[in-house]
Every structure is written in C-alpha cells, then in structure tokens.
C-alpha cells in the first residue's frame, strides 16, 4: 500500500553496486585488438545460432532491458560481444550473461547453447522462454559455478541432471511461477552440490518436497531463499545452525512449522525472514537475544510465542524490524529505544496501545516508520516530525488527536495520517516536502482548514487524498494541472465550495477523481476530457447545474461515472462521437432533473454494459494498487458504501429524474447489467419484454412510474434476479408465476391496482390462484446458508460478494432469494442495519 523500499530492492541495489564493480574490472582486462580473434569460429557459430533461435520482445514489465544479442555480428570477435566472457588464454567462452536481454522463444534441448561446454557462469535471467522446460542438457555444463535462470518463464520440472553440476556455487531459479521440483531431484541436488553458497528457489513449487531434506544442505551455504515455495511440514532445526548462513528467507510458506532454535544459531546470520510461516519463535529469556549479528528481522504474521517483546531491544544492530500483523496488544516496549541503528520499523496491524514513547526521539536514523492499524493514542509527538531521514510515516487508523506538528526536515515521500481524530490547521511545512509522492490525510473529521493553493507546490504527488474531513473554502484551480504525475485526487466528503477546477491539461495521469459530497457549483469543466487516463469520476452530491456532460464520452477509459444528486437538467440527446462512453460499467445519474425520453442512441453506445465478464478482481488504481475504487450506491432507498467493487460489476441508475415516454426496447442490449434502476420517473407504456435478455440482472427497480399493461412472463427467465420492484405503477393482469417470481413478496408489486396473484392477495378472474411450490431448502447440497449469509455480511450485493462464484456456477438465483428469506427470518428487523454495517466493514 505504499512506495517503501522493499528488502529485495535494497538487496538488489547492493548487488547491483557489487556487479557494477566486477563488470568494470573484467572489461578492462580484455585485449581490445580485433585483428586477432580470440574466439574460435565454432563458438561464434553456436552463439549466432543461439541468437537466431529467439526473437526480441519488449515487455512493459522490465522497462530497462537491452537486447544484448543484437550487437552480435558475424566476423567480429565473439569474446568482445556484449554479455560474453572468454578465458583470456584459451579463448573458450566461459561466461554468458544475457540477463534482461528481451529474448523470447522456446529453449529446446537441441539448442546450440549446449555446445558451449566450457561455460562457468550462465545468466539467462529476466527473459521470456515461453514456458520452456529446463533441458536435462544443462547437466552437461560440468564446470558451471553460477546458474541463474531467475524470472525467465521456465516451466515444468527442474531436471534431475542439475544435481550433476557439483561445482555450482550459485543456483537461482526464482520467479519462475510454473516450475516445480520433485522430492528425488531436490534430494540429489542438496546432497551433490556441496559447494553451493547461494540457493534461490523462490516461487518454485516445492509442495511435494519434505522440508526434512533441507537437512543435507551444504555447510558452505551462505544464502537460502525459499520464498513462497509451498513447503509443508516441519522444518529441520539444523537449517538455522548452518555455520556460514548469512541470509535465510522462508517467507510465505504457510504450511511450514517447527521452531526457531534458542541457541547456536549461525553467528553470521544478518537477515532472517520467517514472515507468513507457522514456525514458532519463542520470546523467552535469551532466545532471540543471541542473534547479535542480525540486521534484518522480518516476522510479519508469524507464530510468536511468549510475551517478552522487550527482548528485541537486545538486537542492537537491527536495521529493519518488521512485526506487522501479530496481535501484540500492549505498549511499545521501551527497550526498542536501544535499536539506534533502525532504518525501517514496521509495527502495523497489531493492537499496540498507549502513546508513542519518547525513545523514538533517539532513533535518528529511522527512514520508514509504519505504526498504522493499531490503537495508539494521544497527540503525535513533535520529535517524530523532527526525525532527519524520515521518508515514510504511516500512522493511519489509530486514535491520535490534536494538531499535526511542523516537520523539521524536507525528507518525506509518503505521509498517511488518515483515520485518526486529528484537528487544527494543516502545517505549512508539508508544502516544503518537495519529494512527497503520497499525501493521505483522509477521515479526520476535525480537520477544518481550507485547501491552500500552496499544495500545488508538491509537484511529485501521485496520490492526494483529503477526503472525509471538514475542509472548507474552494478547491484551488491549480489542482487541475499542478502535477502530471497525480493519479489519485480525492477531496470527497468535505465542505468545499466554488467551482470544479477547470485547469486539467494534456499529459495528465489522473485515473481517479472524486469530488463527491461537497457544495460545488457551476458546470462540469470541459477540460476534464484532457485527463485521458481517467477511469473513475465521481462528482455526485454537489450542486452542479449543467446539462448531461456528453463530452465525457470522449474519455476512452472511463469505467465509473457518478453524477447523482446534482442539478443536471434538460434532455439527454444521443452522443455525437463514435465509441462514446464505451468503457463505462457503472453510471449513476440518479437524483437530478433530467427530462425527455430515455436516449436510445446513448444506450446503443454503452458497449461496456453489453459485455459480460467474469473478472473477480477488485477495481484498483493502476499506479497505486492499494487504492481500491469505492462508491456509495442506493439500494432499496438506502445509501450503502461499497468499499471494493469487483471488475465484472455493471450498474445503470437513472432513478429520481423526470424522464418520460416509453422504455426503449434497446435496453435489452445491456446484457452485462447486474443492477438497473429506472424508478421514480414518469415513464409510460409497457414493460419491455426485451428485459429478458438482461440475464445477469440481480436487481431491477422500475417502481413509481406510470407503466401500464401486464408484467411480461419472460421476466421469469431472469434467474439471477434477487430484487424486483415494480410497485407504484399502473400494471395489471396476473403476476407471472414460477422460478424467481415465487420468491418476490407483496412489496415488489404493491400500488398497482390492476395486478392479481397470491402476492397481492387478489385472485385472478379467470381461475384459482396457483399455489406456491414448497421451499425445499437443502443443507446437504454442499453449502449451507451460513456461507451465503457471510457473503451478505461482507459485500452485500450478490455480484459484489465472495459468494458470487458459488452462486454463478452451482446454484440458480432463486436459491439465493430463498436464502434471503431465511436471513430475514433470522435477522428480523435489524436486517437492513446488518447489511449496511457489513458492507462498510468490508
Ligand atoms: C593484445 O593485443 C596486442 C596488440 O594490441 C597483441 O600484441 C597481443 O598479443 C594481444 N594479447 C593477447 C593475449 O591476445
Ligand atoms: C549479469 O549481468 C547483470 C547486469 O546486467 C548482473 O546483475 C548479474 O549479476 C550478472 N550475472 C552474473 C551471473 O554475473
Ligand atoms: C510459445 O508457446 C506457445 C504455447 O506452447 C506456442 O504456441 C508458441 O508458438 C510459442 N512461441 C514461441 C515463439 O516459441
Ligand atoms: C530443435 O527441436 C525443436 C523441437 O523438437 C524443433 O522444432 C527444431 O526444428 C529443432 N531445431 C534444430 C535446429 O534442429
Ligand atoms: C573444467 O575445469 C577444469 C579445471 O579448470 C579443466 O581442466 C577442464 O578442461 C574444464 N572442462 C571444461 C569442459 O571446460
Ligand atoms: C554428483 O556429482 C558427480 C560429479 O561430481 C557426478 O558424477 C554424479 O553423477 C552426481 N550425482 C548425481 C546424483 O547427480
Ligand atoms: C539472478 O540471480 C542472481 C543470483 O543468483 C543475481 O545475482 C542476479 O542479479 C539475478 N538477476 C537479475 C537480473 O537480477
Ligand atoms: C535470485 O534472483 C533474484 C531476482 O533477481 C534476486 O532478487 C535474488 O537476490 C537472487 N538470489 C540470490 C541468492 O542471489
Ligand atoms: C536482553 O534484554 C533483556 C530485557 O531487555 C535483558 O534483561 C537481558 O539482559 C538482555 N540479554 C542480553 C544477553 O543482552
Ligand atoms: C490511551 O490508551 C491507554 C491504553 O489504552 C489508556 O489507558 C489511556 O487513557 C489513553 N489515553 C488517552 C489520552 O486517551
Ligand atoms: C536517548 O539517548 C540518550 C543518550 O544515550 C539517553 O540518555 C536517553 O535516556 C535516551 N532517551 C530515551 C527516551 O530513551
Ligand atoms: C473534534 O474536536 C472537538 C473539540 O476539540 C472534540 O470534542 C471532538 O470529540 C472531536 N471530534 C472527533 C470526531 O474527534
């Protein structure tokens, strides 16, 4: 959720410096006379054939890669080629480093690479070998000391033959997500590679390997990376006792158990990462105190046993301590004041309480401090603002009160103080933080200042979130164009007045613009269309006086548009440009004064609503994935906040306007819709039977119009329909029976004097009311109503819940309506509250 320098980045930069050094020195030792080729012809040929077997593919993922093989030219000395190293005496190719060279294609076992027998170092990392298997012929490089195939899209099994490479010092197969290793191969590998110093199998699937086979790892091992390998079972204690072990990363193996030993741990260990494992770490007298050389200790979401948190204070060489997500409910121990070398301290997502202790004043090297999601209280002490190197300060979601102090230095890049009870003015020193990238001061209901235009001095901002405060005054005009990097601007739920900034300009990176819930007036500025990256635009609940802003249809990426509860008026004419609003998935223009007939041409351009997708991911900002899109929507007259929205969700809300005329038949094209609301207008004519094509519909509200005629029996085909409201119209004739319709009660139909059927307790003239079939709720079908109720609690609308897939694939929708009844019975009158609560909690 932030731009902090991760450990791996940090290590990478160290490694980079190291390799930079060695690369420079090795290239100086080369003899640059090209007249006399050092490289034998057959080697040039093999290398050129190797080059031919791949294409060059650029990937946005690895921006800085260079196509090294492009410089390889027949007739020149291959020992001088980019990425090739030769033995100066014999001219044999001993090193091939094509890391990050944009190679793409399959590496078959007949590749000429395997004729370069003398290779000692081979690095093919950061390429795309298109799910090639690692050929058993790798086992023929008998003198290989370094083999690095990290992040290069290899798949299948690691071949047994790799264990023949008994001179290997470094083996790195990390980041190949479809690679796995079998127990036999791993066991041989571990036994035979006796010179191994660095082993990295991160993200290689090792779920079949018994952790016990790690026992046989070479005693020369200095770094072991098994991050996310799916290891299951008990880790042998002697792993921690390997005498030369410096780095140990077992992170993210949730099935890994065992315990961290209390003594004899390698005294050169400087990095230990047991996060997201179940390995027990004991906090009792002098257990972890022995780890004197430790500089990085990462224990987030761990199995920490015992309460002597103060023991961490003995690890006085610590650079980084991560104890996030461990349920500590106590004060921050004063012994942490001994950790004067700390750069990174992450205590987030625990229940730490009390005030921020004074010793923080002594931790002058702190660069990254994350105390978010705790129960800390009191004021934020001024010495935090005086820490000279601080670039990340995250205190969100605590109980801090009082003013925000003045920062004494200009080192900040990330500041999140949201969800506290801070008040008072914004400190002017924030505007001097010229490297600030993220500024989040949301949800402090007592922040009452005006937004000053000096905020526009922060030219590197990507995220500016001041939402849910009590800010007043006008939004400064410069907010539209002060930073081309800005991608999230959230000033929603304040008391801002004046007009929407009209200074949006070309090159804008804005993805998310939320001004919902203010007092903004005037028109929607045309310049917004210059923000071509915009995906989310919420201007709802203001006092905007305008006609429907057709020009927004030019925004090619716009997915969510909310203009509800403003003073929009006039007819909605059809769009003039091609492809207008074609990406839109959520459109809410309810609660305005739009009139005239429903615009058919407009419906016709909403391609995003015509498509159905199954994408379960939550919509988040591309540039800042911690930022999930959320909106408030009206549901049965209640406003509910959807904190996360799944990508497949489609909603169209035209309710509470003054639309007249008939519902166009074209509405049947908006096949992706889950929610359609046309209620509280003055629509006339029949209910279109084309609605039956909206097969994904879960909620349909056409209440409080002047619709006439019968309810089309085809609506019973809408098998996912959970909520139907046709009340307060002039409908007549029998209420259709069967399927979904058996689950709707009187409230769906009331206020239509001409309707008959059991729901409205009126017999139809031409015969007896057909009885409702019995509800045959069946617990044994695999999931009981609890699961569904949980879905309710977490996300509420079916389309937005985790239960969605279950519904979609295993159950017809009449089932979940039935479950809703069960829920009603259980929850009774508190149901609505429970739902709202649940939706928020998510
Ligand atoms: C290096 O180049 C020089 C000419 O510049 C030549 O005399 C010498 O033999 C070369 N050395 C090797 C090892 O090729
Ligand atoms: C290959 O070169 C890259 C830099 O381009 C470097 O990071 C990497 O360590 C090198 N690999 C080997 C095995 O030296
Ligand atoms: C990549 O793999 C796919 C699937 O096996 C195959 O169809 C395609 O031809 C391969 N592309 C190259 C360049 O090897
Ligand atoms: C190498 O093997 C692959 C797959 O078996 C084959 O398609 C390709 O033609 C072979 N290449 C050469 C040079 O023999
Ligand atoms: C491997 O290294 C040894 C010792 O340096 C050397 O004698 C031998 O020729 C090398 N083998 C190959 C295939 O390069
Ligand atoms: C172990 O390495 C030796 C070479 O040092 C090799 O001869 C032997 O086959 C290897 N064993 C396995 C199981 O790969
Ligand atoms: C691949 O792994 C090696 C270590 O085994 C590392 O030195 C190298 O930097 C990695 N490659 C890249 C491109 O980072
Ligand atoms: C393996 O490669 C990854 C990716 O470059 C790197 O982060 C890691 O440090 C390497 N592992 C070892 C043990 O050098
Ligand atoms: C470790 O810390 C505890 C509590 O702060 C202290 O009592 C103990 O003496 C320390 N042990 C060592 C070995 O420094
Ligand atoms: C802060 O929290 C502590 C522990 O929960 C409590 O005892 C104390 O009264 C609180 N202080 C304030 C100012 O709220
Ligand atoms: C800060 O460090 C000084 C000097 O070591 C020490 O005297 C003081 O007690 C420390 N302050 C706190 C609050 O730990
Ligand atoms: C806002 O500030 C007032 C007075 O300072 C205080 O009484 C009130 O509790 C604060 N509100 C919140 C939500 O913190």
Token duo for residue 3: 């731009």
Q: Is 188 in the pocket of ligand 6 (CB under 6 A)?
A: yes
Q: State how far the Cα of 774 lies from the Cα of 44, in Å rounded to an integer.
A: 81
Average pLDDT value for residue range 459-481: 91
SS3 category, 84: strand
- Alpha carbons 225 and 115: distance in angstroms, whole number: 31
**CA–centroid distance for 348 within its chain:** 18
pLDDT-wise least confident of 209-213, 391-395, 397-401, 813-817: 813-817
Query: Ligand 9 centre from 294 Cα, in Å?
Result: 15
Give residues with Cβ within 8 angstroms of 18, minimum separation 6.
Answer: none
| Span from the CA of 5 to the centroid of ligand 11 (angstroms) | 28
Residue 623 alpha carbon to ligand 3 centre in Å:
30
CA distance 691 to 683: 15
Nearest-atom index, ligand 10, CA of 401: 13
Give the per-residue pLDDT at 641. 78
Q: Could you say which ligand is closest to the alpha carbon of residue 330? A: 10
**Average pLDDT of the chain to the nearest whole number:** 83
Q: Quick one: CA dihedral 618, 621, 626, 629, positive or negative?
A: negative
The closest ligand to the CA of 356 turns out to be: 10
Least confident of 13-22, 96-105, 325-334, 749-758: 13-22
Q: Tell me how far the alpha carbon of residue 350 lies from the centroid of ligand 8, in angstroms.
A: 31
Least confident of 338-342, 385-389, 632-636: 632-636
Of the two residues 8 and 802, the one the predictor is more confident about is: 8
Judging by beta carbons within 10 Å of its beta carbon (0-12, 13-18, 19+), is residue 404 exposed, middle or buried? buried
Mean pLDDT of the region 237-265:
91
Q: Is the C-beta atom of 577 inside 6 A of ligand 5?
A: no
d(CA 636, CA 831): 13
Report the first-to-last Cα separation within the chain, whole angstroms.
17
* pLDDT tier for residue 636 given thresholds of 50, 70 and 90: low
Distance 97 CA to ligand 2 centre (A): 6
Show Cβ contacts of residue 598 under 8 Å, excluding neighbours closer than 6 positions.
572, 654, 659, 661, 662, 663, 664, 667, 678, 683
Identify the band that residue 501 occupies on the pLDDT scale cut at 50, 70 and 90. very high
Cα 819 to Cα 808: distance, rounded to the nearest angstrom: 15
Q: How confident is the model at residue 20 (pLDDT cuts 50, 70, 90)?
A: very low
Residue 810 has what pLDDT?
Answer: 25
Q: Check residue 333 and give its pLDDT.
A: 95
In eight-state DSSP terms, residue 757 is B
C-alpha of residue 360 to centroid of ligand 11, in Å: 9
Please provide residue 759's backbone torsions phi and psi, each rounded to the nearest 5 degrees: -65, -35
Q: Is 106 in the pocket of ligand 4 (CB under 6 A)?
A: no
Atom of ligand 11 lying closest to residue 334 CA: 14
pTM of this prediction?
A: 0.79
Report pLDDT digits (tens) over 282-324: 988 787 888 889 999 999 999 999 888 999 999 999 999 999 9
pLDDT at 451 (0 to 100)? 87
Ligand nearest to the CA of 334: 11
Q: What pLDDT does 164 receive?
A: 95
Q: Locate the domains of the chain by residue range.
A: 7-113, 533-826
Please tell me the residue having the least CA distance from ligand 6 atom 10.
164
Q: What is the pLDDT of residue 575?
A: 60
pLDDT in tens, 199-208: 999 999 999 9
Look up tokens 């014999």; give the residue.
90
Point out the ligand 1 atom lying closest to the alpha carbon of residue 89.
Answer: 13
Mean pLDDT over residues 366-386, rounded? 95
pLDDT digits (tens, 9 = 90+) for 542-558: 999 999 999 999 999 99
Pocket test for ligand 10, best of 329, 331, 353, 374 (most atoms within 8 A of CB): 353
CA angle 228, 230, 233 (to 5 degrees): 125
Which ligand has the nearest atom to the CA of 223? 8
Average pLDDT, integer, range 328-350: 94
Q: What is the mean pLDDT of residues 379-403?
A: 94
DSSP 518-531: S--BSPPPGGGGG-
Q: Give the pLDDT of residue 745.
A: 86
Closest ligand 12 atom to Cα of 421: 14
Q: Residue whose CA is closest, atom 7 of ligand 10? A: 354
According to the model, what pLDDT value does residue 182 have? 95
CA of 553 to the centre of ligand 7 (A): 46
pLDDT exceeds cutoff 60 at 489: yes
Distance CA 582, CA 557 (A): 8
Q: From the alpha carbon of 36, which atom of ligand 1 is closest?
A: 14
Residue 776 in this model has a pLDDT that exceeds 70 = no
pLDDT band with cut points at 50, 70 and 90 for residue 596: very high
For residue 223, what are the β-bridge partners?
Answer: 198, 247
- Greatest mean pLDDT range, 91-100, 739-748, 762-771, 803-812: 91-100
Q: Which of 489, 491, 501, 456 is nearest to 470 (CA)?
A: 491
d(CA 540, CA 731): 33
- Measure the CA–CA gap between 19 and 241, rounded to whole angstroms: 29
Q: Are strands 624-628 and 620-621 parallel, antiparallel or unpaired?
A: antiparallel
Q: Which amino acid residue places its CA nearest to atom 1 of ligand 11?
A: 362
Mutate to test the pocket of ligand 9, among 267, 289, 317 (most ligand atoms within 8 A of CB): 289
Q: Name the burial class of residue 703, with classes exposed (0-12), middle (13-18) and buried (19+) by CB atoms within 10 angstroms of its CB.
A: buried
Q: Identify the residue with better confidence: 291 or 187.
A: 187
Answer whether residue 332 shows pLDDT above 60.
yes
Task: Enter the DSSP assignment of 574.
Answer: P
In the prediction, which pLDDT does 564 show? Answer: 95
- Whether the CB-CB separation of 316 and 338 falls below 8 Å is answered with yes
Which pLDDT score, from 0 to 100, does residue 824 have?
28
**Residue 743 contacts residue 821 (beta carbons within 8 Å):** yes
Ligand nearest to the CA of 143: 5
Pocket of ligand 1 (CB under 6 A): 31, 33, 36
pLDDT at 43 over 70: yes
Weakest-pLDDT range from 14-18, 549-553, 707-711: 14-18
pLDDT (average), residues 725-741: 89
* Average pLDDT over every residue of 728-751: 88
DSSP code of residue 563: -
Confidence class of residue 128 from pLDDT cuts 50, 70 and 90?
very high
Cα of 130 vs centre of ligand 4, distance in Å, is: 15
Q: Is 419 left (phi over 0), alpha (psi -120 to 50) or beta?
A: left
Q: What whole-number percentage of the chain has pLDDT above 70? A: 84
Class of the domain covering 533-826: alpha beta
pLDDT (mean) for 769-794: 30
- CB within 8 Å of 383: residues ≥ 6 apart: 358, 360, 361
Which of 496, 504, 494 lies closest to 524 in space, CA to CA? 504
């Amino acid at each position: 959720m932030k731009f902090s320098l991760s450990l791996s980045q940090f290590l990478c930069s160290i490694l980079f410096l190291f390799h930079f050094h060695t690369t420079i020195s090795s290239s100086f030792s080369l003899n640059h006379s090209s007249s006399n080729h050092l490289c034998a012809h057959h080697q040039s040929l093999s290398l050129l054939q190797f080059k031919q077997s791949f294409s060059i593919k650029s990937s946005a993922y690895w921006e800085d890669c260079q196509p090294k093989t492009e410089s390889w030219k027949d007739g020149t000395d291959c020992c001088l080629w980019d990425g090739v190293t030769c033995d100066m005496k014999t001219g044999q190719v001993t090193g091939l480093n094509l890391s990050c060279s944009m190679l793409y294609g399959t590496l078959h076992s007949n590749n000429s690479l395997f004729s370069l027998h003398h290779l000692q170092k081979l690095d093919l990392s950061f390429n795309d070998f298109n799910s090639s298997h690692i050929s058993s012929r790798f086992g023929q490089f008998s003198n290989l000391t370094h083999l690095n195939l990290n992040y290069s899209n290899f798949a299948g099994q690691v071949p047994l033959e790799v264990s023949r490479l008994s001179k290997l010092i470094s083996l790195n197969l990390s980041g190949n997500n479809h690679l796995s290793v079998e127990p036999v191969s791993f066991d041989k590998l571990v036994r035979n590679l006796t010179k191994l110093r660095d082993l990295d199998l991160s993200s290689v699937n090792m779920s079949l390997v018994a952790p016990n086979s790690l026992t046989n790892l070479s005693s020369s091992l200095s770094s072991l990376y098994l991050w996310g390998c799916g290891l299951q079972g008990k880790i042998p204690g002697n792993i921690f006792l390997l005498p030369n072990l410096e780095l140990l990363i077992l992170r993210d193996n949730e099935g890994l158990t065992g315990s961290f030993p209390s003594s004899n741990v390698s005294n050169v260990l400087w990095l230990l990462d047991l996060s997201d494992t179940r390995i027990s770490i004991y906090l009792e007298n002098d257990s972890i105190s022995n780890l004197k050389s430790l500089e990085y200790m990462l224990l987030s979401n761990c199995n920490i046993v015992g309460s002597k948190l103060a023991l961490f204070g003995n690890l006085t060489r610590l650079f980084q301590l991560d104890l996030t997500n461990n349920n500590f409910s106590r004060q921050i121990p004063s012994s942490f004041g001994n950790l004067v070398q700390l750069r990174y301290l992450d205590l987030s997502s625990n229940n730490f309480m009390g005030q921020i202790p004074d010793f923080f004043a002594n931790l002058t090297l702190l660069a990254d401090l994350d105390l978010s999601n705790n129960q800390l209280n009191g004021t934020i002490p001024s010495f935090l603002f005086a820490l000279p190197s601080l670039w990340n300060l995250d205190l969100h979601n605590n109980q801090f009160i009082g003013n925000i102090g003045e920062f004494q230095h200009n080192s900040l890049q990330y500041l999140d103080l949201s969800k506290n009870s801070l008040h008072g003015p914004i400190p002017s020193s924030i505007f001097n933080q010229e490297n600030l990238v993220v500024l989040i001061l949301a949800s402090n209901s007592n922040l009452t200042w005006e937004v000053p235009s000096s905020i526009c001095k922060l030219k590197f901002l990507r995220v500016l979130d001041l939402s849910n405060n009590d800010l007043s005054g006008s939004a400064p005009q410069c907010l539209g164009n002060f930073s081309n990097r800005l991608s999230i601007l959230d000033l929603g739920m304040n008391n801002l007045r004046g007009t929407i900034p009209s200074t949006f300009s070309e090159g804008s990176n804005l993805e998310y613009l939320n001004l919902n819930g203010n007092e903004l007036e005037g028109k929607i500025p045309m310049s917004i269309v210059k923000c071509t990256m915009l995906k989310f635009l919420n201007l709802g609940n203001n006092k905007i006086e305008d006609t429907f802003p057709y020009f927004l249809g030019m925004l090619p990426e716009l997915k969510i548009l909310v203009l509800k509860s403003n003073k929009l008026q006039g007819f909605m004419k059809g769009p003039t440009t091609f492809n207008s609003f074609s990406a839109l998935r959520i459109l809410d223009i309810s609660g305005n004064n739009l009139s005239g007939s429903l615009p058919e041409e407009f419906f016709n351009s909403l391609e995003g609503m015509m498509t159905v997708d199954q994408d379960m991911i939550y919509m988040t900002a591309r540039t800042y994935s911690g930022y999930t899109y959320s909106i408030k929507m009206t549901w049965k007259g209640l406003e509910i906040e959807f904190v996360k929205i799944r990508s497949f969700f489609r909603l169209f809300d035209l309710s509470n306007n003054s639309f007249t005329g008939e519902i166009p038949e074209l509405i049947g094209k908006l096949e992706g819709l889950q929610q359609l609301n046309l209620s509280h207008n003055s629509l006339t004519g029949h209910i279109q039977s084309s609605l039956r094509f909206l097969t994904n519909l879960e909620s349909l509200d056409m209440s409080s119009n002047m619709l006439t005629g019968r309810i089309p029996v085809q609506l019973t085909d809408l098998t996912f329909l959970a909520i139907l409201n046709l009340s307060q119209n002039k409908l007549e004739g029998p209420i259709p029976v069967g399927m979904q319709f058996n689950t709707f009660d009187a409230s769906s139909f009331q206020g239509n004097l001409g309707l008959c059927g059991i729901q409205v307790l009126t017999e139809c003239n031409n015969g007896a009311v057909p009885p409702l079939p019995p509800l045959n709720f069946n617990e044994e079908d695999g999931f009981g109503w609890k699961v569904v109720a949980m879905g309710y609690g977490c996300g509420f609308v079916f389309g937005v819940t985790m239960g969605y897939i279950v519904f979609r694939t295993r159950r017809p929708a009449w089932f979940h309506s039935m479950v809703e009844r069960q829920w009603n019975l259980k929850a009774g009158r508190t149901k609505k509250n429970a739902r709202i609560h649940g939706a928020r909690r998510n």
